[in-house]
Amino acid sequence: MANWEEKSRRKFQFTQRYLEHFKSHRVDYTDRDIQMEILYTNWLIKDATEKTRKNTSTIVTIMAILIIISLLVSVQVLGAISLI
């Protein structure tokens, strides 16, 4: 239990230090700078989402092809068995 509390405390301290660092580096940002940074971050998220979607579509297509092939093979095997 103490180990979990220590990890939680360290994570909180890291988050606090990161927020202080974030604020100190962006203290002179104009509204336009902030908007440009948000726009860039949104673009990164969109790009990552599109790559994930593309990979998922590829995997689904491959799985569908494999299922069709396995069904065709099983039909051929069953057909060959019934001829014997």
Question: What are the residue ranges spanned by the domains of the chain?
Answer: 2-83
SS3 70: helix
Q: What's the pLDDT score for residue 1?
A: 54
- The sign one gets for the Cα dihedral 15, 21, 27, 31 is negative
How far, CA to CA in Å, does 83 sit from each of 21, 46, 70, 75? 76, 56, 20, 12
Mean local confidence (pLDDT), 17-35: 84
Question: 19 versus 68: which is more confidently predicted?
Answer: 68
Distance in angstroms (rounded) separating the CA atoms of residues 33 and 41: 12
Mean local confidence (pLDDT), 5-11: 84
Whether residue 2 has pLDDT greater than 70: no
- DSSP character at residue 27: T
pTM score > 0.85 for this model?
Answer: no
